[in-house]
Amino acid sequence: MDYKRNPPETFKDVDAMSGEEAQREVKALREGIEFHDYRYYVKNQPVIADALYDKLFRRLQELESAFPELQSETSPTRRVGAAAVSRLKKINHCAPMLSLDAGLEAADVARFIDFVRRNVGDEETAFVLEPKFDGFSVEIVYDRGVLKYGATRGDGQAGEDITHNLKTIAAVPLRLQRRNDAPDTLSVRGEVFMLRKGFQQLNRRRIEQGEAPFANPRNAAAGTMRQLDPKNVAGKPLDIVFYEILSTDGGMPATHSEMLKQLSEWGLKTYDRNQKVRSLEQIKSYRNNLAEERAHIEWDIDGLVIKLNDYAQRERLGVRHRSPRWAFAWKFPPKEEVTTLEDIVVQVGRTGILTPVALLAPVDVGGVTVSRATLHNESEVKRKDVRPGDQVRIARAGDVIPEVVERVDRPGKARGDPFAMPSQCPACHGRVHKEGAYHFCSNRLQCPAQLIGAIIHYASRPALNIDGLGEKTAAQLVHRELVKDISDLYRLTEADFLKLTGFAEKSARQLHQAIQARTRPGLDRFIYALGIRHVGQRIARILAETFAHFDRLARADRSELEAIAEIGPEIAQSVTSFFGQDDNRQVLARLEQAGVQVVGTTDAGRSRPLEGKTFVFSGKLDEYTRTEAEAKVAALGGRATSSVSGNTDYMVAGHDPGSKYEQARKQNIPIIDEDGFKKLVS
């Protein structure tokens, strides 16, 4: 029976059917419904009426109910059949999910094209142009053509498992078309977004129910996809477009345009007006057409993406730490409106940076009501010469963050003197110091405005790794005044945690024990945990190896610090300023009184056995995240890169390694498993 082109409108009575008949019909119905989903949601070319589709769907539900043994997790009826999850689990990506370099000017694009052509040696090389979707980036993995899992982008190396919610989006195939042609493992990247019309309807319902509206469709998509219960996601106006193969154990197409065609053949929705070009003029023309059509497209876009078409040329260019050298985003200028600047206040961020903020007469900018906007820093306020009472032009930079672009008019006499940054922090009255164009509160460990961020950073995995102490808990501890600086964490009792929302006896006991288990941190982790400006994990390790003991580092002056090869004046100033701040010294003393003993290292100046060695990781490791494994290599003098080249010394292969594994094998690069890696770094 043909359920694709000529489906029946009447069916045999279920009670009169044998199990074998039901099995054949269920198989045909699933294949037919998958085909019609593909035609409707991916191709926008339905071949049957909606009423007939609904009839097929109800018939499948009826058969699965009558014959429970035929139920399957890949059935179209299971899109909203998953149970709610207790939390979003972390999941490592098959390959890094990189961000893009971006610019607003044609000159930026010209420089990108010139760079590419100079480095690949091809003046006629082609590029593929795609809209830059203003959505929520995800990885989806298929195993033998069946959806296995999907995850958020996260930090680019690992994200949160949102499989249960992705299954509710009709354009996400539970099984690929042409599965016989699909590789055993396929990891693809796509963008989940919310349709504009549906976004407005969603916000209307939220307001009517007394909930805060979402700021924009991107925030709405991100917030919706992080729900724990898929029933809260089903029916939301979400869609998806796929645009990249991240990893596969099958062969990769030779070009990006061929890859997009392959995705479409597998039933993965792609934008149907991507274009291959060879000149800057063609790119400008595409951009102009896209900008004109922007208001009429059903979803938000904030520019276009320019990608080198040839994959072999991409491999030669490689990637930077966070972005590929073969792609560039040409962003649209922000949307603008004029309103009255009513006042300027100073906001203290979680990293201590002081930002002047304009309070505005509310104005609609691109469909979002804006009542406050950033002024960036003191120099910007003075350059624009804006004061309360001025008429100012407001833009949503990147269509999201509002900012004051310029003063348009000054009706009558402006109120007050030109703006100046305060000498004391508005949140804690600590000393404010200036670095370049920005002002910072020096009271890193005690300032209430910074304290939530300081606690989250202190407890983070690369720092003291206190499991269970996340943003929501940190915020409650600060807002309820249970923690006034990080030393107070060690004085908390189980009873204190029971006062917080979301805690029961077991979770309170576990978090209390997790904190108390971190009273003897290693020196490098403790240095990093303090959140000293400009001191990341690598610099923290260098400082630990050089000074060996915490008190020696705390007494070091700028000349001692600058004598270290990788420490420049800016880092040296930041470290000495941190330890020179009386408020910070008091918190460090209270940490010691609370029982925190920093374990110094006795191997300062130790040998670096992996010096000069380059590692590439592929697949999932059991005992390390990708970040931890790369940090281990760096601590021993080696370096980790994201792509295989002639300079690669070791390929570390975890579970389900991707195409990089095959590249390493073909180039005769030594391949080791996780046990081999552990032996090497032990």
Tokens of 600: 């110094």
Instruction: Give the model's pLDDT for residue 400.
Output: 59
| Fold classification of 335-441 (topology level) | OB fold (Dihydrolipoamide Acetyltransferase, E2P) (2.40.50)
Instruction: Give the model's pLDDT for residue 211.
Output: 64
Q: What is the pLDDT of residues 189-242, one digit of tens each?
A: 999 998 888 887 887 777 666 666 676 788 888 888 988 888 888 888 899 999
Q: What is the pLDDT of residues 454-483, one digit of tens each?
A: 999 999 988 999 989 998 899 899 989 999
Q: Is 394 helix (H, G, I), strand (E, B) or coil?
A: strand
Instruction: Give the model's pLDDT for residue 659.
Output: 80
CATH code of the region 14-71 = 1.10.287.610
| Residue 331 is assigned to a ligand binding site | yes
| Residue 428 is assigned to a ligand binding site | yes
Closest C-alpha to 78, from 174, 4, 9: 174
The reply to whether domains 448-593 and 614-681 share a CATH topology is: no
pTM, two decimals, is: 0.54
Interatomic CA distance for residues 205 and 333, integer angstroms: 31
Q: Which residues contact 292 (CB under 8 A, 6 or more apart)?
A: none
Please state the φ and ψ torsions of residue 26, each to the nearest 5 degrees.
-60, -45
| Residue 94 is assigned to a ligand binding site | no
* Catalytic hit among 132, 167, 269, 632: 132
Instruction: Give the model's pLDDT for residue 73.
Output: 77
Q: Report whether 178 contacts 266 (CB < 8 A).
A: yes
Q: Which residues contact 522 (CB under 8 A, 6 or more apart)?
A: 544, 598, 599, 601
Instruction: Give the model's pLDDT for residue 605.
Output: 45
Instruction: Give the model's pLDDT for residue 207.
Output: 63
Please state the φ and ψ torsions of residue 410, each to the nearest 5 degrees.
-125, 85
Tokens of 501: 């929302």
> What architecture (CATH level 2) is domain 102-331?
2-Layer Sandwich (3.30)
| Residue 99 is assigned to a ligand binding site | yes
Q: Which residues contact 11 (CB under 8 A, 6 or more apart)?
A: 25, 59
Instruction: Give the model's pLDDT for residue 279.
Output: 93
Q: What is the pLDDT of residues 315-364, one digit of tens each?
A: 888 887 678 999 999 988 877 888 999 888 898 887 789 999 889 888 87
Query: Percentage of the chain with pLDDT > 70?
Result: 94
CATH code of the region 614-681 = 3.40.50.10190
Report domain extents, the chain: 14-71, 102-331, 335-441, 448-593, 614-681
Instruction: Give the model's pLDDT for residue 607.
Output: 57
| Residue 153 is assigned to a ligand binding site | yes
Instruction: Report the range of poorest mean pLDDT among 257-261, 432-436, 491-495, 511-515.
Output: 432-436
| Residue 228 is assigned to a ligand binding site | no
Instruction: Give the model's pLDDT for residue 210.
Output: 61
- Bridge partners of residue 306, in order along the sequence: 129, 328
DSSP state letter for 40: I
DSSP result, 240-299: EEEEEEEEESSPPPSBHHHHHHHHHHTT----TT-EEE-SHHHHHHHHHHHHHHGGGSSS
Q: What is the pLDDT of residues 642-660, one digit of tens each?
A: 778 888 999 999 988 878 8
Q: What is the pLDDT of residues 110-147, one digit of tens each?
A: 999 999 999 888 888 999 999 998 888 999 999 999 99
Q: What is the pLDDT of residues 279-292, one digit of tens each?
A: 999 999 999 999 88
Interatomic CA distance for residues 645 and 574, integer angstroms: 37
Is pLDDT at 504 greater than 80 in this prediction?
yes
Q: Which residues of 627-647 are buried (b: 16+ CB within 10 A; e: fewer)?
A: bebbbbbbbbebebbbbbeee
Instruction: Give the model's pLDDT for residue 604.
Output: 43
CA dihedral 89, 90, 93, 99 (to 10 degrees): 120
Instruction: Give the model's pLDDT for residue 150.
Output: 94
Which residue's structure tokens are 């420089």? 111
Q: Pick one of 1.10.150.20, 3.40.50.800, 3.30.750.200, 1.20.1260.10 as the CATH number of 448-593.
A: 1.10.150.20
Amino acid at 591: L
| Residue 447 is assigned to a ligand binding site | yes
Instruction: Give the model's pLDDT for residue 36.
Output: 82
Q: Binning pLDDT at 50, 70 and 90, where does residue 598 land? A: very high
Q: What is the pLDDT of residues 69-112, one digit of tens each?
A: 888 877 887 776 566 676 788 899 998 898 888 888 999 999 99
| Residue 51 is assigned to a ligand binding site | yes
Radius of gyration of the chain (CA): 28
Interatomic CA distance for residues 677 and 682, integer angstroms: 8
Q: Is 132 a catalytic residue?
A: yes
| Residue 100 is assigned to a ligand binding site | yes
- For the segment 535-545, the average pLDDT, to the nearest whole number, is 89
Instruction: Give the model's pLDDT for residue 48.
Output: 81
CA atoms within 13 A on the CB side of 456: 15
Calculate the average pLDDT of the chain.
Answer: 86
Closest C-alpha to 441, from 351, 314, 367: 351
